[in-house]
Amino acid sequence: MKRLAGLLLLLLLISCYSLKPTVLSQPKENSGHKYVQFNVLVIVLLDVTHDGRRTTLLDRNLSRIFIELERARLFYWRNSHLRFNINFTYMITLSHLSFNGWFLSPGNVRRVVSKTLSKLGCSWDSFDGIVALWAAPGYKEEVDPIGSVYGPGGTLRYYSSYQLDGAITWLFVHEFHHQVDEDFYLSGYEEYPHADYPAQLKGKFGEHFDFNAYMLRSWNETLWLKLKAPSIGKPRILTANDEDGDNFPDYDPALPMDEVRFGSYINRSDSDHDGLNDKDEFMAGIFFPSNPLLSDSDSDGIPDGKDSYPLYPVNTIVPRDNWSTIIKDFITHPRNAQLNYELKAKWNDSGIAFKFLIKPGNLGNIYLYLDLDDDGWFHGVGNLEIILNPAVDNPLIKVHLLDCREAEKNPSKPCLWDDDPKHGGRIITESDIITRANLVRRGKKIYKEVVVFIPKNDEIAFHPSEGKNIGLRVEFLSSKTGTACSVFEKWSLIYLNLSQKTLARNVSSTIMVNRPDYIEKAVVVNRYIGKISKDYTVEVVYEVENVSNRTLNSVRIMDKNGKPLISLDELPPLAKVKICKQIKMGINNYTLIPGDLTVKYNYNQKTYSLKIKVPDIILDTQTEIKDPFAEIMSSTIRLLVIIAITATAIAAVAYIIRIKTRR
């Protein structure tokens, strides 16, 4: 019994020792924000003969290339829920390349760059993707307006190329998306959408950039971490500090955006307490964010967290039989556009009407896009484009419908406008749309009033009714500058709701929060090539930005070896300065400008130091690259000639010896 009691006591003690104490409200450890990174080599070919015409971009401003590619990088970061970072390495080469046809093949480019890459200890296959941009005669130095779409491009596995007289941001976004599609396929996710088949992807989205943004946004966010980087055959997952756990990195200048640069607080997920967290403020638009420090970014009386469109002061309720203002005097892009207009709408059982009030002489054409069947631009048949000229009494220039019914069934068939001869017949014509334009007085001011009425239509099943939604996009062409002005983000639709009456709004007061001050993370640096002169002097541009509210003193930028590059006596609050430095390259030379920088600055008698990573830049001024195959052939021929000469000489000597022997 004593042994049994002792054994029971021992078991009781062991069990009590193994019990774990209860911990209440144990916080979860913040593991940071995880994302995948692709290392992409961007090859800029400055001396190209295409179809017999030679173009060189020596002495030309190259800044546009870097600015627009950084826009593309930011586009991917924003619309992938901050899960996909593209890390650029730039190679700028003056090696002459000649080709014919619209597509520059990877073999041609590989021949030009491989030798220099090898000397630098890397290769074509060291990267997860290659993008080759080549000099073309139509290259312009001015940066394109955001959302510009034009120019051809092509993509093979891991490789894209296009000419530099196209829309650089767009061509990268679209063509590189084919690489992403292929990479997801090889990662085991063949269901990732194809960037050439918008009709095959269900969803309410617009054209071009908006479609590409929808592809990125609608993809399961966690699956980005499954995307294999081609150069290593597995996902390259990196982690950024994220103090408040809102999946928005705190500070990392190597990323396209972080909270310090964005101006939000790193220690609270919703800086302005408006119900929309900081990451969602950053993702409010496909190009533009809402304001993380202002509870009502568009000043329409609705807090961002409750506003379907926090970027636009838009009223989406269209009442029956009564004109209601949809939007007034607001332009998303360009930001500095000053256009006086007002857009109103109303509906009844017979159709929907829109009214524009415009200051005379202020505008050129008006472009009105409507998704009448509430299913996105590339679906169904209710996709209507109306072009109006407000300067004339009969303002209607053109109306047609984009019919995507066959494209939805068969990806090999495109969407067709109903005025395309291939379509087989019109669905809506100019005679179906009622328009008028006349002068009206509003107080002491005279306006041009343009009214357009779209009637119900059985063929496209457009029957206005309460609760129905209609997609809307509006652009104006400025008569003064010729600039296209987008009311909403370029290519994006907003959706109006047909109602029996105007609904009252609960207007909230706006709360503005002070911008946080992170003096220990106050500087951001960007670097790119401005131009290469004909004497092979390279202009390197440094953009140094102070993202704090304080004036910084004695700002110094050094390379990874401590060599001074830039020095500023003072950098004002929230200021950005541009400094140009020159490198004497000379002809037939190459160099790597590493992206590892150290930044030091003073504030309040204290010195701060930051490690900053910017893209590596490879400069190559070798003007002629010999064809390796030709070199091999040349060497082989020389060897054969030597062998032949030697053999002939030996035969001649042997012949002479034989003759002498006979004698």
The distance of Cα 262 from the centroid of its chain, to the nearest Å, equals: 17
% of the chain exceeding 90 in pLDDT: 82
| pLDDT > 90? residue 425 | yes
- Is 220 or 641 the better-scoring residue by pLDDT? 220
- pLDDT of 640 reads 63
Residues 6+ apart with CB under 8 A from 481: none
Q: Quickly state the pLDDT bin for 586 (edges 50, 70, 90).
A: confident
**Does 216 have pLDDT greater than 50?**
yes
* Contact call for residues 344 and 326 (beta carbons, < 8 A): yes
Long-range contacts at 538-542 (CB < 8 A, ≥ 24 apart): 538/582, 538/583, 538/585, 538/619, 539/580, 539/581, 539/582, 540/580, 540/581, 540/582, 540/583, 540/593, 540/617, 541/63, 541/578, 541/579, 541/580, 542/566, 542/578, 542/579, 542/580, 542/581
pLDDT class of 638 with cuts at 50, 70, 90: low
Helices (H), 357-476: 405-409
11 pLDDT band (50/70/90 cuts)? Answer: very low
For 305-349, what is each residue's pLDDT tens digit? 999 999 999 999 999 999 999 999 999 999 878 788 999 999 999
Question: pLDDT for 543-584, tens place per residue?
Answer: 999 999 999 999 999 999 999 999 999 999 999 999 999 999
User: What value does the mean pLDDT take over residues 16-21?
Assistant: 32
How is residue 655 written in tokens?
Answer: 């012949």
Distant-in-sequence, close-in-space partners of 466: CB < 8 Å, separation ≥ 6: 320, 498, 499, 500
> What's the token pair of residue 170?
């767009």
Residue 460 CB: number of other CB atoms within 10 A?
20
SS3 170: helix
pLDDT at 651 (0 to 100): 65
* CB contact at 8 A, 293 and 513: yes
Rounded (10°) angle between helices 63-79 and 209-218: 40
Q: Region 477-496: what's the mean pLDDT? A: 90
**How far apart (Å, rounded) are the C-alpha atoms in residues 106 and 112?**
10
**Which pLDDT score, from 0 to 100, does residue 25 have?**
29
Contact by Cβ (8 Å): 285, 80 = no
Is the predicted pLDDT of residue 1 greater than 80, yes or no?
no
> What is the C-alpha separation between 515 and 265, in angstroms, rounded?
8
| pLDDT tens digits along 241-289 | 999 999 999 999 999 999 999 999 999 999 999 999 999 999 999 999 9
Q: What would the two tokens of residue 80 be?
A: 């992938």
Mean pLDDT throughout 493-507?
Answer: 85
pLDDT band at 207 (very low <50, low <70, confident <90, very high): very high
How far is it, in rounded angstroms, from Cα 351 to Cα 315?
A: 19
**pLDDT surpasses 80 at 505:** no
> DSSP string covering 9-49, please?
HHHHHHHHHHPPPP-SSPPPP---EEEEEEEEEEEEE-EEE
The residue-averaged pLDDT of 373-399 equals 96
Does residue 26 carry a pLDDT above 60?
no
What's the pTM value of the predicted model, to 2 decimals? Answer: 0.89
Cα separation, 396 vs 390, in Å, equals 9
Residues 6+ apart with CB under 8 A from 52: 100
**pLDDT above 90 for 105:** yes
Summarize pLDDT for 589-633 with one digit per residue, the tens: 999 999 999 999 999 999 999 999 999 999 999 876 444 444 444
Flag whether pLDDT at 469 surpasses 70: yes
Neighbours of 602 (CB within 10 A): 14
- What number of CA atoms fall less than 13 Å from residue 459's CA on the CB side? 13
| Termini Cα distance of the chain | 129
Q: Find all residues with CB under 8 Å of 304, minimum gap 6, and list them.
A: 272, 274, 275, 276, 281, 284, 290, 291, 294, 295, 296, 297, 310
pLDDT recorded at residue 361:
75
Two structure tokens written together for 560: 């990874």
Contacts of 369 by beta carbon, 8 Å cutoff, 6+ apart = 206, 377, 383, 384, 385, 386, 471, 472, 473, 474, 493
Q: Residue 554: exposed, middle, or buried by beta-carbon count in 10 A (0-12, 13-18, 19+)?
A: middle
Return the pLDDT at 508.
Answer: 75
What is the average per-residue pLDDT within 161-178?
98
Residue 581: phi and psi, rounded to 5, are -120, 150
Residue 27 has pLDDT above 50, yes or no: no
Q: How confident is the model at residue 479 (pLDDT cuts 50, 70, 90)?
A: confident
Distances in Å between the alpha carbon of 143 and those of 65, 74, 168? Answer: 8, 16, 9
What token pair was written down for 642? 């030597």
What type of residue sits at position 527?
Answer: R
Q: In this predicted structure, what is the pLDDT of residue 478? A: 78
Radius of gyration of the chain (CA): 32
Q: Tell which residue, 307, 52, 73, has the closest CA to residue 176.
A: 73
**Consecutive H or E run containing 178:** helix 168-186
Nearest to residue 318, comparing CAs of 481, 576, 503? 503
Residue 190 has pLDDT above 90, yes or no: yes
Q: Whose structure tokens read 């070896």?
A: 561
pLDDT of 663 above 60: no
- Mean pLDDT over 96-114 rounds to 96
Give the total residue count for the chain.
663
Is 123:231 a contact under the CB 8 Å cutoff?
Answer: no
Choose the weakest-confidence range: 111-115, 139-143, 196-200, 438-442: 438-442
The CA distance from 81 to 79, in Å, is: 5
Q: Is the pLDDT of residue 5 over 80?
A: no
| Confidence band of 16 (pLDDT split at 50, 70, 90) | very low
505 Cβ contact list (under 8 Å, min separation 6): 301, 302
Q: Chain centroid to CA 54: how far?
A: 30
The strand order across the sheet containing 47-50 reads 53-56, 47-50, 97-99
22 has a pLDDT exceeding 70: no
Rounded Cα gap, residues 45 and 174, in angstroms: 20
Coil, helix or strand for 205? coil
**Residue whose C-alpha is closest to residue 101's, from 51, 163, 169:** 51
Q: What is the mean pLDDT of residues 365-380?
A: 97
